[in-house]
């Protein structure tokens, strides 16, 4: 487990898989759903629910990027 400190927000606990995926999205700036395997798609949905990742649908393709609060 890891604790993510957010600017002017309470800390948030994420697991190691979510942390690795979050680092992947940060490094790539933007990731499409087709870039992810089914497990990563599940994990990225969890990060969207925790408001760490933003999901946008552009031309029918889901893209993910990091929120500004991170």
What is the domain range of residue 15? Answer: 2-66
| pLDDT for residue 4 is more than 70 | no
SS3 58: strand
**pLDDT digit string (tens) for 42-63?**
999 999 999 899 999 988 999 9
pLDDT at residue number 26: 92
5-9, 31-35, 37-41: range with lowest mean pLDDT: 5-9
| Total domains present in the chain | 1
CA 8, chain centre distance (Å) = 19
Distances (CA, A) of 18 to 4, 44, 52, 53, 60: 11, 7, 10, 11, 25
- Report the CATH number that the domain containing residue 32 is assigned in CATH: 1.10.10.10
Contacts of 41 (CB under 8 A, 6+ apart): 33
* Token pair in block for residue 29: 């700036």
């Amino acid at each position: 487990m890891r604790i993510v400190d957010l600017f002017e927000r309470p800390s948030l606990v994420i697991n190691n898989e979510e942390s690795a995926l979050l680092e992947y999205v940060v490094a790539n700036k933007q990731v499409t759903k087709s870039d992810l395997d089914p497990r990563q798609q599940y994990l990225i949905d969890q990060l969207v629910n925790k408001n760490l990742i933003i999901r946008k649908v552009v031309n029918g393709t889901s893209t993910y990027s990091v929120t500004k609060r991170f």
